[in-house]
Chain A
């Protein structure tokens, strides 16, 4: 290459003369790492080092005020004999087990609805997505009011239909369902991802199925669901991880109550660290959350991921 042009200041520096003398492959490697360097440094600073700090912290007792001291495995002993942790895990798992499948089905259903070619469909798409952009704190206040036993809108409808007055936020048997309902209302993100998937299905698949005599349900079962399985899987994993992180609504609506029935794991970690001042034990709980999520993810990938159908494997 003998393209003549003026050298910029940067190109006249010794570094660039050295760099330009390197073979193309080496230059590309350096260039590649230069581009991804922000991520590598970020991974180091905000993931790897915090993980090491957390590992070290598990052996300490520290309330942020008096100096930290090493206590051996005391925090792990607390873990085994902590009755509140059991309640917290139960609440988290129950919430996840109910809200994730329901949310997935509902999001898929809404996505199919807004995938039709009706006049003004863009407005429907916008309306269906609105709940997901409401600020979490405002959302929590709004739902605390909607679920109000005496004056809330939800009990108003139930009573108008002849139902009983439900103490949504005070009754430990009902409160989880209240959280499931408010979570499902804000299912817009996975709905949009489903919509994107549905729009990516070529029309000829359906035409071919029709020629083979497939009806409405057969098309859903033999065309839509298999083609959509990677998207369903993606939403399942994301939904599951998000459900384990429920925090703001629990903090603001019930603050963990009644009787710890909404003391979800992240809320318990937050409370242990910043209200009870047990940083060491909070670090142990964080690691516990990590291992639960990793274990569950592995199970999901192992047993459901293997059933996913990929059109272009290895792409």
Chain B
């Protein structure tokens, strides 16, 4: 009841005495935080640990948690077993093109949905949201046939070109939400100075939306980096493989042992985790910021 004694107009922090249950829940919270942190991280540690073991040590029960002896050569053997350098370059190309396509295309469409009033806008935005709920597994077979007709099989085109057309419903939605938080007065000021609508989009809105653009850029990069079903369906010759397909074909050759499989998996995961650590404040803040409510 600290409010009663407070001088008028001044906010006083409530200093309710901490009850025993409050203290209990505080420590329970911290305990659970640590417990689940360990649960989440343990598989990674196990992956790294196993990938550094010899063939013999890996099939040993009970297992050693610290490999003895350590064999970092597993990584060299795994990454030279297949042309992972080539896969890496291919994946980087596809993912990079995807990021460019999505950042440009999704923000462009989102600007129309967020800032221009015209008949049919809400109808088309409804279609955007409908495609959000339409998984692309459904369209896998017919898309394959269309890309066959276009002669695009075994090229990167099916993995890149569609992204230039809207950049995906989720990204349009995210950008639209973000654009709506930017005050219209800024755009009006530019218009009075003679700026065209395209200019408002390019010179005012895009620079102000960097956090949101970075968010969708990272999402897109990760998706392209991790995607298997697309490259697996459309790419044929090994020199075109992305990392995901390369790793999958690595696994399907059953003569390759666990130590190499795990070393390759760890090696493929590392770049993603590094990217994530650099960008994590955008990642988590981006979703919080754009307000994914309703």
B residues in contact with A218, CB < 8 Å: none
Q: Is the CB of B288 within 8 A of A199?
A: yes
Question: Looking at chain B, what size class is its interface with the partner chain?
Answer: 35 or more
B27 CB to nearest chain A CB (Å): 11
A31-B197, A36-B124, A110-B36 known; A244+B135 contact, CB < 8 A: yes
Neighbour of B164 across the interface among A38, A231, A234, A290, CB < 8 A: A38
- Flag if B108 contacts A38 (CB, 8 Å): yes
Question: Restricting to A108-156, which residues have a CB under 8 Å from any CB of B?
Answer: 110, 113-114, 116, 118, 122, 124-131, 133-138, 140-143, 145-146, 150-151, 153, 156
B42 within 8 A of A: yes
Q: Is there an interface contact between B58 and A35, defined as CB atoms closer than 8 Å?
A: no
Known pairs A43-B166, A46-B162, A46-B165; A138 contacts B266 (CB<8 A): yes
**Does A100 have its Cβ within 8 Å of any Cβ on chain B?**
no
A150 to B58: give the CA distance in the assembly, Å. 11
Interchain CB contact under 8 A, B291 and A57: no
Identify whether the interface residues of B are mostly helix, strand, loop, or mixed: helix
Q: Is the CB of A133 within 8 A of B276?
A: yes
Instruction: Indicate if the CB atoms of B165 and A113 lie closer than 8 Å.
Output: no
Q: Indicate if the CB atoms of B61 and A196 lie closer than 8 Å.
A: no
- Listed stretches A81-89, A172-180, A265-273; interface member: A265-273
Shortest Cβ distance from A28 into B: residue: B118
The stretch among B67-75, B140-148, B181-189, B206-214 that forms the contact with chain A is B140-148
**Contact A46/B143 with A29-B119, A185-B40 known, Cβ cut-off 8 Å:** yes
B46: chain A residues at CB < 8 Å are 142, 145-146, 153
Contact across chains for A42 and B162 when beta carbons are under 8 A apart: yes
Q: Is the CB of A29 within 8 A of B293?
A: no
Tell me which residues across on chain A come within 8 A of B77, comparing CB atoms: none
Instruction: Verify A245–B228 contact, CB threshold 8 A.
Output: no
Residues of B within 8 A of A (CB): 21, 25, 29-30, 32-33, 36-37, 40-44, 46-47, 50, 58-63, 105, 108-109, 111-113, 116-121, 124, 127-128, 131, 133-135, 137-146, 148, 162, 164-167, 172, 192, 194, 197, 201, 222, 225-229, 233, 243-244, 247-248, 251, 258, 261-262, 264-266, 268-269, 272-273, 276-277, 280-281, 283-284, 287-288, 291-294
Q: Footprint of B on A, CB under 8 Å?
A: 3, 5, 28-29, 31-36, 38-43, 45-47, 49-51, 53-54, 57, 64, 110, 113-114, 116, 118, 122, 124-131, 133-138, 140-143, 145-146, 150-151, 153, 156, 160, 185, 192-193, 195-197, 199-200, 216, 230-231, 234, 237, 241-242, 244-245, 247-248, 251-252, 266, 269-270, 273-274, 279, 282-283, 286-287, 289-290, 293, 297, 310, 315
Contacts A136-B228, A245-B137 supplied; 18 other A-B pairs, CB < 8 Å: A33-B118, A35-B109, A35-B116, A42-B162, A50-B139, A53-B146, A64-B148, A127-B41, A130-B273, A135-B225, A135-B269, A137-B248, A138-B265, A141-B265, A142-B265, A231-B292, A245-B135, A286-B138
